[in-house]
Structure 1
Amino acid sequence: MQAWLSDPALWVPMLLALALLGFAALHDLAARIIPDWVSLALLPIGFWLRIWQGGALWALVALLLVFAAAVLVWRLGALGGGDVKLLSAATPLLPPSEVPTLLVAVALAGGALALLYLLLRPLLRGREAGARPRGLLARVGRIERWRIGRGGPLPYGIAIAAGAAWAMLGSSGF
Structure 2
Amino acid sequence: MFVAGLIISATSLLAYAALHDLAARTVPNWLPLCLLALGIVVRVADHSLRVGLIITAITFVALFAIWFSGMMGGGDVKLWAATVLLIPPHWQIEMNFFLRVFLIGGGLAVVYLALWLPVARLRARGVGTFAAAHSLLQRVARAEVWRISRRGPLPYAVAISGSAILTLLPLSKMN
The question of a shared fold, defined as TM-score above 0.5 by the shorter chain, is answered with yes
Q: CA deviation at 1:29?
A: 0.9
Counterpart of 2:113 (choices 115, 118, 121) is: 118
Is the aligned partner of 1:143 residue 2:143?
Answer: yes
Conserved 8 A contact 1:39-1:89: yes
Is the aligned partner of 1:83 residue 2:76?
Answer: yes
Counterpart of 1:109 (choices 104, 110, 122) is: 104
Show structure 1 runs of 4+ deviating over 6 A.
none
Percent identity at matched positions?
40
Q: CA deviation at 1:150?
A: 1.7
CA RMSD in angstroms comes to 1.6
2:94 aligns with 99
Counterpart of 2:27 (choices 23, 34, 58) is: 34
List alignment gaps of at least 5 residues for structure 1: 1-7
Residues 1:130 and 1:44: Cα distance change in structure 2 (over 3 Å): closer
Q: CA deviation at 1:132?
A: 2.3
Query: 1:77-126 CA distances to partner (integer Å, 9 max, x unpaired)?
Result: 11100010000000111111122222111111100110111111111114
Q: CA deviation at 1:170?
A: 4.3
Partner Cα separation in structure 2 for residue 171 and residue 105 of structure 1: 16
Partner Cα separation in structure 2 for residue 158 and residue 125 of structure 1: 23
SS in 2 for 1:96: coil
Q: CA deviation at 1:10?
A: 2.2
Conserved 8 A contact 1:62-1:99: no
SS in 2 for 1:24: helix
Is the aligned partner of 1:21 residue 2:20?
Answer: no
Conserved 8 A contact 2:8-2:169: no
Partner Cα separation in structure 1 for residue 3 and residue 64 of structure 2: 30
Partner Cα separation in structure 2 for residue 130 and residue 105 of structure 1: 34
**Counterpart AA for 2:84:** T
**Counterpart AA for 2:102:** A
Q: CA deviation at 1:171?
A: 4.9
Please report the TM-score for the alignment, with normalisation by the length of structure 1: 0.90
Partner Cα separation in structure 1 for residue 155 and residue 39 of structure 2: 23
List alignment gaps of at least 5 residues for structure 2: none
Q: CA deviation at 1:12?
A: 1.8
